[in-house]
């Protein structure tokens, strides 16, 4: 059954979408079956993979809408196949109306989790690209997820934003998903010409070091990372020898290692 990872930080422009795409493709290149879910009505992930979300009839927003109407939509009909061997549930502006529609829906936090039951057995990893807010759609993503990866932009001290994010994660753990784990904080947009990345890491270590892993992989600022998304490609397809490609490859390996360790632990506890 797939491990579901939400890429989440309510701060905008920290590299969530870029990470969802390149981690997803990295996992696929390692032989894993991967589904990406675009959880942002801005549909940056859908666009970065080469589709125009607004021209698509089927989307995450439509699936969630149908689910609130007591239909059981066929999730598989909304899955697109990308040439880099990954699948995508796309998004478009339809998703933004869900934010208010969900307020009165039954089991409103669990709509996405319920939808995903249909496809969890078809994949090894499902990666959800969250939008930059902690509203109902993001709560749905966290409720559907086994774990969270938090990209943090190395150029700003994230203290206050991190506190809000941790509060939301705790709220989800207490109410709708007590198994939610934090896989780790990923430093993104790291500029090695400054000491800021180190300062930011030290701040996070001091405040959360006991609870949260900081990935060894760090994603450098590199024009190629932005260019790849504009070209509708992963960084591996665009320039596999570039620094961001190496960094996302290292992240992928860490994520697979975490997943395997968890699986061994689960199997051990079942046989015991």
Ligand X SMILES: Nc1ncnc2c1ncn2[C@@H]1O[C@H](COP(=O)(O)OP(=O)(O)OP(=O)(O)O)[C@@H](O)[C@H]1O
Q: Which residues bind Mg ion (CB under 5 A)?
A: 16-17, 44
Instruction: Compose the 107-146 pattern: x for residues touching ligand X by CB under 6 A, - for all others.
Output: -------------------------x--------------
Burial string for 15-31 (b: 16+ CB within 10 Å, else e) reads: bbbbbbbbbbbbbbbee
Binding of ligand X by 18 (CB under 6 A): yes
| Given 5, 17, 24, 238, the residue binding ligand X (CB under 6 A) | 17
Binding of ligand X by 221 (CB under 6 A): yes
Stretch that binds ligand X, among 10-18, 82-90, 102-110, 174-182 (CB under 6 A): 10-18
Give 24 or 259: the residue with its C-beta nearer to Mg ion: 24
Interface with ligand X (CB under 6 A), residue total 18
Distance CA 123, CA 3 (A): 8
Could you tell me the smallest distance in angstroms from the CB atom of residue 232 to ligand X?
Answer: 12
Binding of ligand X by 15 (CB under 6 A): yes
Stretch that binds ligand X, among 141-149, 155-163, 170-178, 222-230 (CB under 6 A): 222-230
Instruction: Compose the 184-203 pattern: x for residues touching ligand X by CB under 6 A, - for all others.
Output: -----x--------------
Could you tell me the smallest distance in angstroms from the CB atom of residue 241 to ligand X?
Answer: 15
Could you tell me the smallest distance in angstroms from the CB atom of residue 91 to ligand X?
Answer: 11
Binding of ligand X by 242 (CB under 6 A): no
Give 17 or 78: the residue with its C-beta nearer to ligand X: 17
Judged by beta carbon distances under 5 to 8 A according to partner kind, the member of ligand X, Mg ion, none in contact with residue 169 is none
Could you tell me the smallest distance in angstroms from the CB atom of residue 189 to ligand X?
Answer: 5
**Helix 223-230 vs helix 16-29: crossing angle, to nearest 10:** 80
Judged by beta carbon distances under 5 to 8 A according to partner kind, the member of Mg ion, ligand X, none in contact with residue 14 is ligand X
Binding of ligand X by 234 (CB under 6 A): no
Burial string for 63-84 (b: 16+ CB within 10 Å, else e) reads: bbbbbbeeeebebeebbbebeb
Binding of ligand X by 43 (CB under 6 A): no
Q: Which residues bind ligand X (CB under 6 A)?
A: 12-18, 40, 44, 132, 189, 219, 221-222, 225-226, 229, 244
């Amino acid at each position: 059954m797939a491990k579901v990872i939400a890429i989440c930080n309510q701060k905008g422009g920290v590299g969530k979408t870029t990470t969802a795409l390149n981690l997803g493709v990295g996992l696929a290149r390692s032989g894993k079956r991967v589904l990406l879910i675009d959880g942002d009505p801005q549909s940056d992930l859908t666009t970065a993979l080469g589709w125009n979300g607004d021209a698509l009839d089927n989307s995450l927003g439509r699936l969630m809408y149908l689910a609130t109407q007591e239909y059981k939509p066929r999730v598989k009909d909304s899955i697109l196949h990308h040439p880099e061997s990954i699948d995508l549930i796309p998004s478009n502006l339809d998703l933004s109306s869900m934010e208010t529609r969900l307020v009165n829906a039954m089991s409103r936090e669990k709509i996405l989790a319920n939808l995903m039951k249909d496809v969890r057995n078809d994949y090894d990893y499902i990666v959800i690209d969250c939008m930059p807010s902690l509203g109902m759609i993001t709560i749905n993503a966290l409720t559907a997820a086994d774990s969270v990866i938090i990209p943090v932009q190395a150029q700003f001290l994230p203290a206050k934003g991190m506190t809000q994010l941790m509060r939301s994660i705790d709220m989800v753990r207490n109410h709708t998903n007590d198994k939610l784990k934090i896989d780790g904080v990923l430093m993104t947009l790291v500029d090695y010409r400054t000491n800021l990345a180190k300062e930011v890491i030290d701040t996070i270590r001091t405040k959360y070091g006991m609870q949260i892993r900081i990935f060894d992989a760090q994603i450098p600022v590199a024009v190629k990372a932005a260019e790849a998304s504009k070209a509708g490609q992963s960084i591996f397809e665009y320039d596999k020898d570039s620094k961001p490609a190496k960094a996302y490859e290292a992240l992928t390996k860490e994520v697979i290692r975490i997943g395997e360790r968890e699986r061994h632990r689960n199997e051990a506890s079942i046989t015991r």
